[in-house]
Amino acid sequence: MRRYIWGILLAVVVTGVIGSIFFFEYRMEKGTQTVESYEEIYMVLPTYGYVPEDMEAVLDAMNQISIKRCGVKVNYIFSNVSDMAVTMNLRLEAGEQIDLMPVMEGRSLASYIASGKLAPLNDLLDGYGAGIRKMYPSKLWEALGKDGTIYAIAPLNSMMKAEGLLIRADILDALDVDPAKLTQAYDAKEKHTVADVDRLLSPLFQQIAVSDKLLADGSAVADKKLVPGSNNYGGIFSQCRIIPYEGFGNSLGCAVNDSAVLVNLYETEEYREMLKLIRKWQKAGYIYNVNSSMAENPAMIYSSGMSSGLFSNTTKGQAESMTHLSGYATECISLVEKTLTSEIIQLGSWVIPTASEHRAAAMKILDLMYTDKEYVTLYTYGIEGVHYRENTEGVIEILSDGYTQNLTWMFGNCLLASPDAAASEQNLESFRNASYSPYFGFIYNDERYADEIEDMQQILDNWLPDLENGRNPDIDGALAQMNAELHAAGLDAVIRDKQEQLDRWLKTK
């Protein structure tokens, strides 16, 4: 379980020219000619390794809105999600002009704060982020800064409250399986063991494997298998934590089952049992055994029609989102209802680098991202009448494949784009009423052991894709070797350091 992130993917795509920023004149025909001055900023926009064909047209339309409403034009720098932790740090170290960017893992946020790479946001929010200040759930600020200083703004998505299995509805229909009845005796709010997950899902996967049913397109149900995890981010459960743990930015020393005593996750019996279950499923033929290039993007494999499902976010609305993304009606089977952790909240949070000379303009764009329905909807669905339309029943219908955006979850207050006018406010209320981790707000500063942690991440990269996708038959032998390498690389020192910081933080609560 190397990272906890939705996204997994190909190579870095960077467009745009990074250089000096000036003020320009923008001319628009509107009866008589008007002249509006605008400020330009550079904003990093994550991708899954490709840019939609009509992306430029959509971004131009977004700039028309931002220039009119806050006098800011955005130049976009596209960067692959899977490489951002490394590439963004290198860009900042090199002094490139970046005014607004997302942070794709908690470890990076803590490191950026400690090294002074991020601008404080308190005054900027007061001066140019009034919309955010008014609506943002106050509890979240605890995980987004240090000593009362805010350094990041987390996206307000609904992706963080439940995890489980996304599965094709036509397969369930062919097998006459009702997901509600399937989970009658399984309450996702309760803590469950790996054995509980085995008892719930293994019979379903066996039904799929032996079925003689055909789907509407003529393909066989039995040919559909589970999507494996990405080689960049661990295995099949990397987006569904059936073992409850917090790593505070990395998995090297974890609080398992809310224990304040940190342990090596990879030496726990729970982790070993999880690997045994995955291996059982792989041997039974329930999981695709694909090569590394195919495993880079699980969502794309699901969308190709070749799979039955994948483990991911199953919060309300996610089935609809995957249906929209893939074209296949999708059902959710939730396995875990989560308490919110700092790590979850920090995922995809937006920051303004210290080197930015246009901090106020960047905050104005952030305020649009969290408060302007038209702006957010453009990014989410594209241009109305060209890429989508909303029918009389309030359902979004896709008109063109020229614009498909599957990173909408991190674009500010993404539920503003929902046809349901109440969705955004309901989501905000869910944050206010959510259950939070006892360690919410703790941020581990890993600067002292940054090199050792990087070495250990490489060790995990070498072992986890095969172990956590069931491709390594010698679980005990592999775990013994991997843990020996981790200890030799400094795991015990990192756990001690993290434990000391956690203990100090707990004393302040």
pLDDT in tens, 145-196: 988 999 999 999 865 678 999 999 999 999 999 999 998 889 888 888 999 9
Between 81 and 388, the more confident residue is 388
What are the Cα distances from residue 35, in Å, to 21, 25, 32, 71, 364?
19, 7, 10, 11, 20
The residue-averaged pLDDT of 213-239 equals: 84
**What's the rounded Cα separation, in Å, for the pair 300 and 296?**
9
Taken in order 377, 382, 384, 387, the sign of the CA dihedral is negative
Residue 269 burial (CB < 10 Å; 0-12/13-18/19+)? exposed
The amino acid at residue 503 is: D
Q: Which of 52-61, 138-147, 249-258, 389-398 has the lowest mean pLDDT?
A: 389-398
The residue-averaged pLDDT of 404-420 equals: 88
Question: Cβ(314)–Cβ(166) under 8 Å?
Answer: yes
In DSSP terms, which residues pair with 284 in a beta bridge? none
* Unique residue bearing structure tokens 């009448």: 385
What are the Cα distances from residue 419, in Å, to 304, 388, 400, 406?
27, 12, 19, 17
Q: What is the tens place of the pLDDT at every residue in 124-139?
A: 999 999 999 999 999 9
Going by the DSSP 8-state scheme, the letter that residue 187 receives in this structure is -
Q: Could you tell me the two tokens for 204? A: 């379903």
pTM of the complete model = 0.79
Looking at residue 455, its pLDDT comes to: 96
Looking at residue 269, its pLDDT comes to: 96
The residue-averaged pLDDT of 403-432 equals: 88
**What's the rounded Cα separation, in Å, for the pair 190 and 212?**
35
Rg for the chain (alpha carbons), in Å? 23
* Unique residue bearing structure tokens 């090569």: 291
Going by the DSSP 8-state scheme, the letter that residue 251 receives in this structure is S
What are the Cα distances from residue 357, in Å, to 90, 100, 123, 151, 462?
19, 11, 15, 16, 40
Average model confidence (pLDDT) across the chain: 86
Between 400 and 81, the more confident residue is 400
Residue 333 has pLDDT above 80, yes or no: yes
**What's the rounded Cα separation, in Å, for the pair 416 and 423?**
7
**What's the rounded Cα separation, in Å, for the pair 380 and 470?**
35
The residue-averaged pLDDT of 50-66 equals: 94
Residue 185 burial (CB < 10 Å; 0-12/13-18/19+)? exposed
3-state helix, strand, coil in the chain (%, to 5): 45, 15, 40
Q: Which of 48-52, 116-120, 177-181, 399-403 has the lowest mean pLDDT?
A: 48-52
Between 8 and 109, the more confident residue is 109
Q: What is the tens place of the pLDDT at every residue in 339-361?
A: 888 988 888 999 999 999 999 99
Residue 415 has pLDDT above 50, yes or no: yes
Residue 378 has pLDDT above 50, yes or no: yes
Q: What are phi and psi of 482, to 5 degrees?
A: -60, -45
Q: Could you tell me the two tokens for 316? A: 């309300």
Residue 259 has pLDDT above 50, yes or no: yes
Looking at residue 26, its pLDDT comes to: 33
Query: pLDDT band at residue 30, thresholds of 50, 70 and 90?
Result: very low
Residue 222 has pLDDT above 90, yes or no: yes
Looking at residue 11, its pLDDT comes to: 25
Query: pLDDT band at residue 234, thresholds of 50, 70 and 90?
Result: low
Task: Specify the pairing of strand 255-256 against strand 23-30.
Answer: unpaired
Percent of the chain with pLDDT over 70: 89
Beta strands (DSSP E) in 338-377 are 349-351
**What's the rounded Cα separation, in Å, for the pair 66 and 372?**
10
Residue 509 has pLDDT above 90, yes or no: no
**What's the rounded Cα separation, in Å, for the pair 125 and 121?**
6
Candidates 76, 41, 70; CA nearest to 56 is 76
Looking at residue 21, its pLDDT comes to: 30
Looking at residue 36, its pLDDT comes to: 65
Candidates 368, 411, 418, 415; CA nearest to 390 is 418
Range picked from 85-89, 154-158, 279-283 for highest mean pLDDT: 279-283
Candidates 106, 118, 171; CA nearest to 143 is 106
